[in-house]
Amino acid sequence: MERPTYPVRTLFAYFVALIASLTAARWILGPFPEDGGGGLLVLVGFPLVAFVFLVVSMSLRPRRHVTIYRDDSRRETLLRVLQNQRVAVLTRTYTVVTPSGEPLATLRKTYLHNIVRKRWYVATPGGEPIAMAIEDSIVLSLLRRVLGVFLGFLRTNFLLVRGSEEAVLGEFNRKFTLFDRYVLDLSADPDRAFDRRVALALGVMLDTGERR
């Protein structure tokens, strides 16, 4: 699996975003008023400056597509996961494609769900729901928000469920080991209703996209 980070281009994007946000701060805030309203001006202006930094930096950063290879030799591409947007404030989507470019599915992550319980949605290229990956427990997910991974005892695991029916298709679990080890278990789907290629791509994004 390969997901380039583009450190030089990313640093350049942050540098330009910093210049843009400082310029915006100078224009929005300007000189502080003498009547004591400077605090209110900062309170209103700071979120706007932060928004400028976020939008500019995300607009200039390259999209990080994921390439999944058949083995460690990296000679044969198995799948690609294409990042659809550079700027994604609330929702980010990805397209899973074959080496020839044929779309297999779309993956969608809504950042607001991270507040309570992380989830990823899987749909056909036409938008029909296929499956959803959701944190294994609402109680554990809330504990993770407060305590973090807590020395590995609260590591993030996901259930894979079928569309809106929430019939369990499998699990994606992080093992309690010194190094990152993950198990994609689809034994609950013996009929292979969930395309194994899409499941593999989803597992990769649950790892790289969640910074677990």
Domain ranges of the chain: 7-60, 66-208
Q: What pLDDT is stored for residue 141 in this prediction?
A: 83
Q: Report the chain's mean pLDDT, rounded to a whole number.
A: 86
pTM of the entire structure? 0.80
Instruction: Say which DSSP state 198 is in.
Output: H
38 phi/psi in degrees, rounded to 5: -65, -35
Mean pLDDT by 10 residues, the chain (212 residues): 86 93 81 56 76 89 91 92 89 96 96 89 94 89 81 82 81 75 90 95 88 54
Q: What pLDDT is stored for residue 42 in this prediction?
A: 66
Strands 129-135 and 158-162: antiparallel
Tokens 């690609």: give the residue. 80
For residue range 30-62, what is the model confidence (pLDDT) as tens digits?
A: 665 555 555 666 676 788 888 899 889 988 988
As to burial, measured by CB atoms within 10 angstroms (0-12 exposed, 13-18 middle, 19+ buried), residue 48 is: middle
